[in-house]
Amino acid sequence: MFRFGRRPGNAESAGFVPVSPYDSKEALQARIEHLSGDEAEIYKWLREFYSERWIAETLLLEKCEAKEKIRHVYFKLGVKNKRALIRAYGGLPRPQTGPVDTGEIDSYIDARTEKAVRNGLWADETKKGGNKNG
């Protein structure tokens, strides 16, 4: 059966070799070693669950160019999408950028809440005698 937008056997004839659950770690590592510098970075970011948009902005590329690079990575690694990549090669936790200063965030939220109460956008339950439902 022919599907629009796809040629039968196109990926196989172009050298696409799908990853198998029976591939050894050495075979998977050999695929990773064939990636170029940018492709290796993209591979790492995909394993850290970063989006296509984030990758495009980081590499200073248009989104369509980033998608094309990501497709090349998928092709070289023998997977069809990010889910298959994570399943075959495993996911990585995103690196921590450092401790978050919650004091700044809390003061910002308090200021926004005060402003909303002053403007009547948010009812302050403590001034009205508490929650009527409870």
* pLDDT recorded at residue 3: 46
Q: Give the separation between CA 28 and CA 33, rounded to whole angstroms.
A: 9
Helix then strand count (H, E) for the chain reads 7, 0
pLDDT of residue 45: 92
Checking if the pLDDT of 9 tops 90, the result is no
User: What number is the average pLDDT over the span 20-33?
Assistant: 87
Residue 52 has pLDDT above 50, yes or no: yes
CB-side neighbour CA atoms (13 Å) of 99: 4
Q: What is the mean pLDDT of residues 68-81?
A: 94
Decide: 71 and 39 in contact? Cβ < 8 Å: no
CA nearest to 52, candidates 66, 34, 39: 66
**Has residue 132 got a pLDDT over 70?**
no
Residue 132 is classified by DSSP as S
The pTM score is 0.60
Residue indicated by tokens 């790492």: 44
- In this model, does residue 102 exceed pLDDT 70? no
Domains of the chain as residue ranges with CATH: 15-89 (1.10.10.10), 99-134 (no CATH)
Which value, to the nearest 10 degrees, does the dihedral of the CA atoms of residues 31, 76, 78, 60 take? 110
Mean pLDDT of 97-125: 61
Give the mean pLDDT of 82-111: 71
Q: How far is CA 24 from the centre of its chain?
A: 26
The two three-digit tokens of residue 118, written as one number: 């002053």
